[in-house]
């Protein structure tokens, strides 16, 4: 891709992408760590995840400022304009993804001992992997303006939804069989729900990436 | 970190700067000197002319008191207004009357030196005011050329003595001579006048202007606006530029060969003179006109074209008014040159002795520079002052002509 | 081959250019450009320097006729009539297709005479009253009446740059044209004068078919509804202004408007 005649414009866009990537990396790490805290019952790790969310919030604020500045000073057009608008919206969504990881960490602390007994617990890390991979791929697609990859991410959401449905049934039957574990099971339901939301949000980001790259939404094309 | 001195702060630079200012001052001094020198030359020229020419507006006159009650000249006021008035006065012996009174009052010797045509001045007075015949009147009448020379301190000793004597009595003086501007050429410097040549110049200039200006301007317009850019137009442009530099006497030869062959009986007429000078002036107007038209910015033309003006409308409504100041400047230069030209008019015969002012464009005439040239050839000392006076008249004519043109130019000056 | 967006509403073309090429001697300056100019929209021509947008604009009112080496091929029609046909009167054409230039060029006459000149030479007014009415109407439409109504006899060149340009627009309007061509009308003006002219263009939109050549993409984006991008004598892309500036189809168009050109 040819560079802008005004080099500072390229530098601004590069910085914007860098911030998105950094935010994405932090939120991916948050997903992984929150699951780890959940599986191992590591409350200290859970606390760290909650604190780290502040950094994600700060990045969102910085991206907002930079995007507004680019629009005011550079008057971006066409693909540049779409990219900057997409960056604004993506930052908001990734911030929410970070919030979900924070909620998962909090839920992890609320669960009582003997979490290893929970059979559904083994499914959650797998679901989290898929969700985390979706987040990772969609941010790669953003940096590379790869509409094809974005579409694949959208398709992957089915898997996450399938995971959620199966975990849901599992936990419900567990709660029926072991009423004493209901509160812990409920927390796990929340965790699954949060992971499913992360998948949905990653799909939203994928749609924005597609728009930034091609100027159309994948929905329009699929009819 | 070493201190970086800006290149404009070094001592070498200071020295060079001083030199630049010095050469600036020298240049300005030279310019001023050139102006001062030119002005000095101009002042010297004008001063000499004026000094020499003042005397040309005067003539030596003697006072002759005439008592008409004793004269026996009768003049009916009604008859005085007829063309035959002068003849009737002459028939009644006015000349002898004047001579008689001159003898009575000034003596025989002085009366002999009364100008031969002096009685005509008296006649003019009578025609103007017939009532003068009822009374006594003193007339300042022109002296003869010899007495005038004597007055100036030249000529025979008798004349000088006579002049001195009369001067002592207060009967002979050099007075302002307004008639100089009303009379025409003559052999007697006392009788000579510049009006004939002045009118001849006027008529010739009118013909020149009427021919050269329209043709020159239209030619310039055509060459700039319409002519295609090819070899032919280049050739025409070259020819016109060369024409402007051709010596003026060649145009005289052309006038002789062409115009006088066509109109042989119009020799020395202002019409022929004007036509010859028009040939000479036209290239100057064309060149100045082309430059003035070229200087009109194309944005004006574009604006006019875009509103739907035809090419002719663009030229006459927009280009020509803006080019007019430049064209007028070129016209001034051309006409000034034409006014002062003698050589071409020599060739077509405007050097004849013409005693009466021209009646129209086809009667024989002469022009101011020619008159000056002819008078300067005369031996009589009296003509010297008249020649300088004629030069002053020529300069004044030039001034008036230029002043008119500059006024017109300023009137049309528009900024864009 | 021009990329014409396919989502354009059908409009009636006031002027239509078909495969128009312009040659200066042997050099081809415009290469087979076809475009419809509708009355309802302002059409903008954008493109880098020397791409031919001004040259093409000048073919629409035959101003290229003044250049001896210029030759135009293809057909340009005004209301269906070929304007380069031998029967077409250039003087009448230029009264129907007016032009405003980059540098304001009022005549060195009074404000009144500037406006009145066109109607006078075309005989559009009978008598002074009608002429006065035309002058007032044109100045009002150009948004200049209130500022100059007290001094109509002042020289047109004594006005400020922005006022002069509005005077030139009023002058063009005075002959009641059908099309107004504007060749970078604001490039010599300050932002406030520019804004006034852009507002004027918005008001004139719909009554006259307006074509504006501009170097400023922001201006094209602000004033026009249709935009054509020219590059090296060809028309590369044509479509809705909003589409051209948010989602152009051609890479060359995109490179130009995002500032990646050159």
pLDDT at A120: 67
Binding-face residues of C in 232-251 toward A, CB within 8 A: 245-248
- Which of chain B's residues have a Cβ under 8 Å away from the Cβ of C117? 304, 307, 309, 317
Measure CB to CB from residue B306 to each of C68, C94, C121 and give the nearest one. C94
Predicted confidence (pLDDT) at residue B73 exceeds the cutoff of 80 = no
Q: Do chains B and C touch (3 or more CB pairs under 8 A)?
A: yes
Confidence tier at B1 by pLDDT (50, 70, 90): low
How many H helices and E strands in chain B?
A: 20, 3
Q: What is the pLDDT of residues B194-248, one digit of tens each?
A: 888 889 999 999 999 999 999 999 999 999 888 888 899 899 989 999 998 899 8
**Does some domain include residue C145?**
no
Distance CA A166, CA B324 (A): 98
pLDDT at A223: 42
Q: What is the pLDDT of residues B377-414, one digit of tens each?
A: 887 777 888 888 888 989 888 888 888 888 888 887 76
DSSP-assigned beta bridge partners for residue B137: B66
Q: Do chains C and A touch (3 or more CB pairs under 8 A)?
A: yes
The secondary structure of B226-243 as a DSSP string is I--SSHHHHHHHHHHHHH
Pairing of strands B172-176, B58-67: antiparallel
CA distance, residue A10 to nearest chain C CA (Å): 10
What is the extent of the structural domain holding C229?
1-102+178-256
**Does some domain include residue C118?**
no
Count the Cβ atoms, other than its own, within 10 Å of residue B29. 10
Distance CA A143, CA B238 (A): 71
Q: Do A80 and C248 touch (CB under 8 A)?
A: no
**Does some domain include residue C43?**
yes
Distance CA A30, CA A88 (A): 21
**Does some domain include residue C208?**
yes
Distance CA B214, CA B216 (A): 5
In angstroms, the Cα distances linking B63 to B85, B104, B165, B175 are: 24, 12, 13, 11
* Most confident among B28-37, B51-60, C6-15 (mean pLDDT): B28-37
> Both tokens of residue A107?
């839920």
**Does some domain include residue C133?**
no
Distance CA A200, CA A197 (A): 5
Domains held by chain C: number: 1
Q: Half-sphere exposure of B214 toward its Cβ, with a 13 Å CA cutoff?
A: 4
CA distance, residue B293 to nearest chain C CA (Å): 15
pLDDT at A153: 94
CA distance, residue C244 to nearest chain A CA (Å): 8
Distance CA A170, CA A176 (A): 10
Q: Do C117 and B317 touch (CB under 8 A)?
A: yes
> Would you call C217 an interface residue with chain A, using a CB distance cutoff of 8 Å?
yes
Alpha helix (H) ranges present in chain C? 53-59, 90-96, 111-122, 128-141, 145-148, 161-174, 191-204, 217-223, 241-246, 251-257
Residues with Cβ within 8 Å of residue A220, at least 6 apart in sequence: none
Q: What is the pTM of this model?
A: 0.79
In angstroms, the Cα distances linking C10 to A30, A198, B296, C38, C202 are: 54, 45, 46, 10, 21
Q: Do A78 and C217 touch (CB under 8 A)?
A: no
Domains delineated in chain A: 3-214 (1.20.58.220)
CA distance, residue C139 to nearest chain B CA (Å): 16
Task: Give the phi and the psi of residue C189 in degrees, each rounded to 5.
Answer: -115, 160
Residue of C nearest to B299 (CA): C105
CATH number at residue C50: 3.40.50.300
**Does some domain include residue C162?**
no
Distance CA C236, CA C214 (A): 16
Least confident of A117-121, B372-376, C13-17, C43-47: A117-121
- Structural Rg of chain C based on CA atoms: 18
Residue of C nearest to B303 (CA): C105
**E strands present in C1-111:** 3-4, 13-24, 27-38, 42-46, 70-78, 81-82, 97-100
Distance CA B3, CA C255 (A): 47
**Does some domain include residue C147?**
no
* pLDDT per residue of chain C (262 residues) written in tens, 0 to 9: 789 998 888 888 999 999 999 999 999 999 999 999 999 999 999 999 889 999 999 999 999 998 888 999 999 999 999 999 988 999 999 999 999 999 999 999 999 999 999 999 999 999 999 999 999 999 999 989 999 999 999 999 999 999 999 999 999 999 999 999 999 999 989 998 899 999 999 999 989 999 999 998 889 999 999 999 999 999 999 999 999 998 999 999 999 999 887 6
pLDDT at C134: 94
Q: Do A77 and C247 touch (CB under 8 A)?
A: no
Q: Which chains neighbour B (Cβ–Cβ under 8 Å, 3 or more pairs)?
A: C
In angstroms, the Cα distances linking B187 to B23, B147, B198, B379 are: 60, 15, 18, 11
pLDDT at A220: 60
- Which of chain C's residues have a Cβ under 8 Å away from the Cβ of A76? 258
Measure CB to CB from residue B416 to each of C92, C99, C108 and give the nearest one. C108
Measure CB to CB from residue A78 to each of C254, C261, C262 and give the nearest one. C254
pLDDT at C148: 93
**Does some domain include residue C161?**
no
In sign, the C-alpha dihedral spanning B400, B406, B410, B412 is positive
Residue of A nearest to C252 (CA): A2
- Which of chain C's residues have a Cβ under 8 Å away from the Cβ of B300? 105, 107-108
Query: Is there a contact between C117 and C199 (Cβ–Cβ < 8 Å)?
Result: no
């Amino acid at each position: 891709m040819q560079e802008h005649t005004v080099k500072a414009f390229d530098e601004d866009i590069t910085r914007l992408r860098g911030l998105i990537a950094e935010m994405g990396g932090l939120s991916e790490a948050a997903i992984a760590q929150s699951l780890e805290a959940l599986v191992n019952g590591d409350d200290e790790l859970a606390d760290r995840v909650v604190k780290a969310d502040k950094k994600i919030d700060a990045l969102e604020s910085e991206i907002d400022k930079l995007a507004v500045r680019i629009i005011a000073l550079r008057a971006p057009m066409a693909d540049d304009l779409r990219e900057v608008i997409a960056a604004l919206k993506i930052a908001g969504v990734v911030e929410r993804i970070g919030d979900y990881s924070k909620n998962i960490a909090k839920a992890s602390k609320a669960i009582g001992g003997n979490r290893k007994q929970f059979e559904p617990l083994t499914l959650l890390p797998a679901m989290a992997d898929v969700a985390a991979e979706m987040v990772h791929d969609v941010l790669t697609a953003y940096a590379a303006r790869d509409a094809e990859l974005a579409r694949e991410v959208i398709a992957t959401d089915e898997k996450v939804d399938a995971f959620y449905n199966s975990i849901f049934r599992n936990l419900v039957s567990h709660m029926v069989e072991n009423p004493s574990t209901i509160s812990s099971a409920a927390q796990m339901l929340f965790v699954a729900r949060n992971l499913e939301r992360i998948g949905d949000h990653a799909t939203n980001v994928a749609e924005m990436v597609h728009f930034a790259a091609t100027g159309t939404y994948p929905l329009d094309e699929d009819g | 970190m070493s201190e970086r001195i800006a290149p404009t702060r070094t001592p070498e630079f200071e020295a060079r700067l001083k030199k630049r200012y010095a050469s600036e001052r020298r240049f300005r001094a030279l310019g001023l000197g050139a102006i001062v020198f030119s002005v000095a030359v101009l002042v010297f020229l004008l001063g000499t002319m004026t000094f020499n020419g003042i005397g040309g507006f005067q003539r030596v006159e003697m006072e002759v008191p005439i008592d008409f009650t004793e004269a026996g000249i009768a003049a009916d006021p009604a008859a005085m207004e007829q063309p035959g008035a002068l003849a009737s006065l002459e028939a009644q012996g006015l000349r002898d009357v004047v001579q008689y009174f001159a003898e009575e009052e000034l003596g025989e010797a002085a009366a002999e030196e009364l100008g031969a045509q002096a009685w005509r001045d008296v006649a003019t007075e009578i025609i103007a005011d017939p009532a003068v015949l009822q009374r006594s009147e003193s007339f300042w009448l022109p002296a003869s050329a010899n007495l005038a020379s004597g007055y100036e301190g030249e000529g025979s000793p008798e004349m000088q003595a006579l002049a001195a004597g009369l001067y002592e009595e207060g009967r002979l003086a050099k007075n302002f001579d307004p008639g100089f501007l009303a009379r025409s050429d003559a052999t007697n410097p006392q009788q000579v006048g510049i009006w004939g040549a002045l009118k001849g110049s006027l008529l010739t200039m009118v013909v020149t202007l009427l021919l050269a200006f329209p043709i020159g301007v239209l030619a310039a317009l055509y060459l700039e606006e319409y002519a295609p850019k090819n070899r032919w137009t280049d050739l025409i442009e070259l020819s016109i530029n060369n024409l402007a530099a051709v010596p003026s006497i060649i145009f005289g030869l052309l006038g002789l060969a062409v115009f006088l062959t066509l109109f042989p009986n119009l020799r020395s007429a202002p019409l022929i003179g004007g036509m010859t000078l028009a040939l000479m002036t036209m290239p100057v107007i064309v060149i100045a006109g082309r430059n003035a038209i070229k200087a009109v910015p194309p944005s004006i033309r574009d604006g006019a074209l875009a509103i739907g003006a035809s090419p002719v409308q663009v030229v006459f409504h927009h280009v020509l008014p803006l080019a007019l100041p430049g064209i007028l400047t070129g016209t001034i230069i051309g006409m000034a040159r034409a006014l002062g030209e003698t050589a071409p008019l020599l060739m077509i015969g405007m050097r004849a002795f013409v005693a009466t002012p021209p009646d129209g464009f086809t009667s024989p005439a002469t022009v101011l520079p020619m008159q000056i040239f002819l008078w300067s050839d005369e031996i009589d000392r009296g003509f010297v002052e008249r020649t300088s006076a004629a030069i002053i008249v020529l300069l004044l004519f030039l001034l008036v002509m230029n002043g008119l043109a500059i006024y017109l130019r300023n009137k049309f000056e528009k900024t864009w | 081959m021009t990329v014409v967006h396919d989502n354009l509403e059908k409009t009636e073309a006031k002027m239509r250019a078909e495969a128009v090429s312009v040659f200066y001697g042997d050099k081809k300056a415009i290469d087979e450009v076809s475009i419809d100019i509708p009355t309802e929209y302002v059409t903008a021509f954008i493109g880098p320097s020397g791409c031919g947008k001004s040259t093409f604009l000048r073919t629409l009112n035959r101003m290229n006729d003044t250049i001896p080496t210029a030759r135009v091929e293809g057909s340009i029609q005004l209301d269906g009539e070929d304007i380069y046909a031998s029967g077409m009167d250039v003087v009448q054409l230029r009264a129907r297709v007016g032009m405003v230039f980059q540098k304001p060029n009022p005549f060195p006459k009074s404000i009144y005479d500037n406006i009145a000149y066109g109607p006078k030479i075309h005989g559009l007014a009978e008598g002074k009253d009608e002429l006065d009415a035309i002058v007032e109407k044109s100045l009002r439409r150009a948004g200049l009446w209130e500022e100059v109504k007290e001094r109509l006899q002042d020289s047109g060149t004594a006005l400020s740059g922005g006022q002069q340009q509005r005077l030139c627009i009023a002058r063009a309007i005075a002959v009641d044209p059908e099309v107004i061509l504007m060749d970078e009308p604001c490039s010599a003006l300050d932002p406030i004068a520019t804004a006034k002219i852009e507002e004027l263009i918005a008001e004139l939109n719909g009554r006259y078919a307006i074509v504006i050549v501009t170097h400023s993409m922001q201006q094209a984006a602000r004033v026009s509804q249709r935009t054509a991008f020219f590059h090296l004598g060809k028309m590369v892309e044509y479509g809705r202004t909003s589409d051209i500036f948010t989602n152009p189809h051609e890479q060359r168009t995109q490179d130009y408007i995002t500032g990646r050109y050159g």
